[in-house]
Amino acid sequence: METTATIITNPDFSKMISPFWQILIVCLVIALNTQCKRTGCNSVKDIDGNIYHTTLIGKQWWMTENLKTTRYNDGSNLPCIKDQNIWLRLDSSAYCYYLNNESYAATFGIMYNWFAVNSGKLCPYGWRVPTDEDWKHLEGFVDTKYGIGDTVWLKFGLRGYDAGQRLKSTTGWRPGINGTDNYGFNALPGGERLSRFYAGGSSGFWWTGTQASQSSAFYRSLIYSFELVARDTHPKRMGFSVRCIKYP
């Protein structure tokens, strides 16, 4: 008995898939594309090979993790200073790990003094440390009460309404006001360093690239018990976390 086989060439798959599955596939493609536009499917790598996810907040691309490079983006060395007395007297670039424990870098990143920030070589190429104005723009975009350009963002100390809560990670903080992390910023409480290490697990501190005086610079802070964001200045010798930013 002779059998024949029918070969189908260049089939029209749209006719082979039910309308339900066609709609589902289209929805999945749209959802993936939207997610990529917001969270940055193309990650960024620093000079040490650390890979960071990104998120689009308004017109700003932000890393969703604190920086943890141990070198400048041109490959030159950045000193790691453990000794407390040396750290206190520094007027040049340096970094450290919280409590001088390298294991904290995986979660909190690395702490830098402002001299390292001011080098202009800390972030990967194409990225930079955000200015005081960049942070104001971020705060106004995420806050549900005070928008971009509101005079509340010019103030010092705790300001805004709920911007801090909406930037905090939903986990990793001392019990207080829970973060909702509405934009994937994933802010964590990496603490600070000057005369000692302090506030790890309860507060996060981030440098801006904006100088306030010969000896101080602007920073931002989120605190476990507040929904607001603090803006102030501190000595350039402080050890704070760093986020990097770029514009599309």
- pLDDT, one tens digit per residue, over 19-37 is 554 454 433 333 334 444 4
The alpha-helical segments, DSSP class H, found in the chain are 13-16, 19-39, 84-89, 105-108, 114-117, 132-142, 163-167
Is pLDDT at 14 greater than 90 in this prediction? no
Q: Give the integer Cα–Cα distance in Å for 208 and 53.
A: 20
> What is the CB-side half-sphere exposure of residue 224 using CA atoms within 13 A?
14
Is pLDDT at 108 greater than 80 in this prediction? yes
Q: Which residues pair with 128 in a beta bridge?
A: 245
Overall average pLDDT of the 157-165 stretch: 98
Overall average pLDDT of the 176-185 stretch: 96
Residue 235: closest CA among 201, 205, 190, 200 = 205
Percent of the chain with pLDDT over 90: 83
Of 123 and 42, the one with more pLDDT: 123
What percent helix, strand, coil does the chain show, rounded to 5? 25, 25, 50
Sequence ranges of the domains in the chain: 44-246
Percent of the chain with pLDDT over 70: 83
Q: What is the pLDDT of residues 195-208, one digit of tens each?
A: 999 999 999 999 99
